[in-house]
Amino acid sequence: MIVLVVNCGSSSVKYELFDTTTEKSLASGAADRVGVNGGTQAILQHRPASGTAFETQRSMKDHETAMELILEALCHPEHGVISSLNEIQAVGHRVVHGGEKFAASMLIDEYVIAGVEEVAELAPLHNPANLVGIRACMHALPGVSQVAVFDTAFHQTIERRAYLYGLPYEMYEKHGMRRYGFHGTSHRYVSLVAGRLLTEAGVPADEQCIITVHLGNGCSMSAVKGGKSVDTTMGLTPLEGLLMGTRCGDLDPAIVPMLHDKFGMTPAEADAMLNKECGLLGVSGVSSDMRDLLVAAEEGNERAAAAIELFCYRVKKYIGAYSAALGGLHAVVFTAGIGENSSPIRAKCVENMAYLGINIDEDSNNTVTSQPDGVDISRPETSVRVYVIPTDEELLIARDTASLVSGD
Ligand code: ADP
C-alpha cells in the first residue's frame, strides 16, 4: 500500500511516502516557514529515495497550499516518485496528544477529530497544528482514508502509581493533570526491534524487560515490560524528565514561582525559558547541540563538561529507577540523534553499571554503524544486552495506517 505520512507543525509540514508492502521509503521532505509573514519565504525540500533532492522557494500562505505543493512534488515528472495522486491509498498523521481518549492509532472520523480538539488544551501548540494538517489532507485528497497515530498512545498502559502526580486528586479527575509521556511511537518502534532480538536470544516475549533511551533534541526514556510501557520520563508535557537540548527536565516545582518573585517573569516567560533556554544550552552556555558540547568539553570548557555530566547522570539514574520498576532487566536500547551516534555519551550513561549486569564492549561501542535491525554493543558474558537501534517513527506510522485501512 502507498501511504503518505504527515507530521504537521505550526509552520511546517514534514512528510514521507512509503510503500508499506516492501516497507521502503519512496520520498521524504519538508515545507518550512508555512504561513510565516504570509508564507512568502516558505521553502519546500523534497528528497526522492533515488534521484536528486531539490529545494524550491514557493509562497505558502497556509498548510493547504503547502500540502498542494508537496503532492505536486510527489507527482513531479522529474523529481516525483508516483505518476498520479490516485496512487496514494492512505495518509497517516503524527498527532502529539491523545490524552486518555486514545490508547492506539485510530482511523480518522468526526469522533477522532472531536477527541483531538478536546485534548488540545493539553498540547495547545501541537494538536491544533496536527488538525490543520488533517484538514489540509482531507481537502487535497478527498476520499482517501486517514489515520491518527498519537505520541502519547503507547504510554496509556502506564499504571496509576506511575502516572499520578502528588496533586489534589481533582486536578487529575477534573482537569486531566497527570503524566502522559511522549515519543511513544519511537519507544514502541525500538522496543519492538529489541523484543525481536531478545526473542531470538530465548527470552519469552511476555517476560521481556526493556529500557528504551531516546536521546535527540528532545529526550525521554521508557520502561517496557512484555511490550507495554510501564513508565516514562516525560509527563503532562514534554518538559519533565531527562535534560534535553533546551528543556530543563526534572525540576523542583518551587523554582517556578521563584522565577516570578525574584525576576518578575510572567508565566509565559517562565514557560519559554524552561522550554527554550535551559537543558544543555542553559547549563553549558555554549550550545544545545551535543556535537558542539563534546568538542567544547574536549577543549577544556568546564560548563560544557558539566552539561554532559548532568545529561548522562540523569539517564543513568533513570536506568536504575526503571530496572526497579520493571523488576528485572534484559536490554537497554539507545536511539535518536545522540543515542545512535555518540559513543562517548552512551558509554557515560552506563558507566559502572556492571553490578546491574550492564557492561558495554568498548570496541563495539566505538565502531558501531547504524543497522535497522539493531546492534548489540554489550559484552557477551553480561546479562543485560545494550542495543543501538535507529528509530523510525514514520515507518511505524505508515505500518499502523496500512493495517487500520486494510482492516488487518
Ligand atoms: P530531533 O529530536 O530534533 O529529531 P535528533 O534525533 O536528530 O533530533 O537528534 C539531534 C541531536 O543529536 C543533537 O543534539 C545532535 O548534536 C545529536 N547528534 C547527531 N549526531 C551526533 C554525533 N555524531 N555525536 C553526538 N551527537 C550527535
252-269, pLDDT tens digit by residue? 999 999 999 999 999 999
Average pLDDT over every residue of 75-98 = 95
* Whether residues 106 and 221 fall in one domain: no
Q: Residue 358 above 80 pLDDT?
A: yes
* Whether residues 213 and 325 fall in one domain: yes
Instruction: Determine the angle formed by the axes of helices 255-263 and 267-276, rounding to 10 degrees.
Output: 120
Which of 123, 150, 177 is the endpoint of a domain? 150
Q: Residue 288 above 80 pLDDT?
A: yes
- Beta-strand relationship, 2-8 and 13-19: antiparallel
Query: Which pLDDT band holds residue 51 (cuts at 50, 70, 90)?
Result: confident
Q: Residue 131 above 80 pLDDT?
A: yes
Tell whether ligand 1 has an atom less than 6 A from the beta carbon of residue 244.
Answer: no
Instruction: Give the structural domain span for 331.
Output: 203-388
Whether 191 is covered by a domain: the verdict is no
Q: What is the pLDDT of residue 190?
A: 98
Q: Residue 141 above 90 pLDDT?
A: yes
Average pLDDT over every residue of 18-42 = 94
Choose the weakest-confidence range: 39-53, 301-315, 344-358, 384-398. Answer: 39-53
Tell whether ligand 1 has an atom less than 6 A from the beta carbon of residue 342.
Answer: yes
* Whether residues 264 and 367 fall in one domain: yes
Average predicted confidence (pLDDT) for the chain:
96
All 3 cell numbers of residue 264?
Answer: 518578575
Cβ–Cβ under 8 Å, residues 178 and 240: no
pTM: 0.95
Query: Which pLDDT band holds residue 370 (cuts at 50, 70, 90)?
Result: confident
Tell whether ligand 1 has an atom less than 6 A from the beta carbon of residue 344.
Answer: no
Whether 84 is covered by a domain: the verdict is yes
High-pLDDT (> 90) share of the chain, %? 92
All 3 cell numbers of residue 354?
Answer: 556492571
Q: Say how many Å lie between the CA of residue 172 and the centre of ligand 1.
A: 35
Query: Which pLDDT band holds residue 407 (cuts at 50, 70, 90)?
Result: confident
Tell whether ligand 1 has an atom less than 6 A from the beta carbon of residue 341.
Answer: yes
Kindly give, in sequence order, each residue whose CB lies less than 8 Å from that of residue 217, ignoring residues fewer than 6 positions away: 244, 245, 246, 288, 337
Whether 182 is covered by a domain: the verdict is no
* Whether residues 372 and 235 fall in one domain: yes
Q: Say how many Å lie between the CA of residue 79 and the centre of ligand 1.
A: 28
* Whether residues 247 and 116 fall in one domain: no
* Whether residues 103 and 219 fall in one domain: no
Which of 117, 150, 183 is the endpoint of a domain? 150
Choose the weakest-confidence range: 85-89, 125-129, 325-329, 341-345. Answer: 125-129
* Whether residues 131 and 58 fall in one domain: yes
Tell whether ligand 1 has an atom less than 6 A from the beta carbon of residue 370.
Answer: no
What is the SS3 assignment for 72?
helix
Q: Say how many Å lie between the CA of residue 185 and the centre of ligand 1.
A: 18
High-pLDDT (> 70) share of the chain, %? 100
Choose the weakest-confidence range: 8-12, 31-35, 162-166, 284-288. Answer: 8-12
Tell whether ligand 1 has an atom less than 6 A from the beta carbon of residue 338.
Answer: yes
* Whether residues 215 and 333 fall in one domain: yes
Q: Provide φ and ψ at 347, rounded to 5°.
A: -60, -45
Q: Say how many Å lie between the CA of residue 368 and the centre of ligand 1.
A: 16
Whether 241 is covered by a domain: the verdict is yes
Please state, in angstroms and rounded to a whole number, the distance separating the CA atoms of residues 228 and 246: 29
Whether 140 is covered by a domain: the verdict is yes
Q: Say how many Å lie between the CA of residue 293 and the centre of ligand 1.
A: 11
* Whether residues 283 and 352 fall in one domain: yes
* Whether residues 372 and 253 fall in one domain: yes
Q: Residue 282 above 80 pLDDT?
A: yes
Q: Residue 276 above 90 pLDDT?
A: yes
Average pLDDT over every residue of 119-140 = 89
Whether 162 is covered by a domain: the verdict is no
Tell whether ligand 1 has an atom less than 6 A from the beta carbon of residue 249.
Answer: no
Query: Which pLDDT band holds residue 1 (cuts at 50, 70, 90)?
Result: very high
Question: Any idea what the CATH number is for the domain that residue 6 is in?
Answer: 3.30.420.40
Give the per-residue SS3 of 33-88. Answer: CCCHHHHCCCEEEEEECCCCCEEEECCCCCHHHHHHHHHHHHHCCCCCCCCCHHHC
Whether 187 is covered by a domain: the verdict is no
Query: Which pLDDT band holds residue 123 (cuts at 50, 70, 90)?
Result: confident
If phi over 0 gives left and psi between -120 and 50 gives alpha, with beta otherwise, what is residue 352?
left
Which of 150, 165, 190 is the endpoint of a domain? 150
Query: What's the structural domain count of the chain?
Result: 2
* Whether residues 230 and 318 fall in one domain: yes
* Whether residues 213 and 99 fall in one domain: no
Q: Residue 363 above 80 pLDDT?
A: yes
Whether 177 is covered by a domain: the verdict is no
Q: What is the pLDDT of residue 121?
A: 84
Considering only CA atoms, which of 197, 192, 122, 201 is closest in space to residue 154? 192
Q: Given ligand 1 and candidates 287, 342, 394, which is best to mutate, with the most ligand atoms within 8 Å of its CB?
A: 342
Atom of ligand 1 nearest to the CA of 217: 2
Q: Given ligand 1 and candidates 338, 368, 394, which is best to mutate, with the most ligand atoms within 8 Å of its CB?
A: 338
Query: Which pLDDT band holds residue 52 (cuts at 50, 70, 90)?
Result: confident
Cβ–Cβ under 8 Å, residues 11 and 388: no
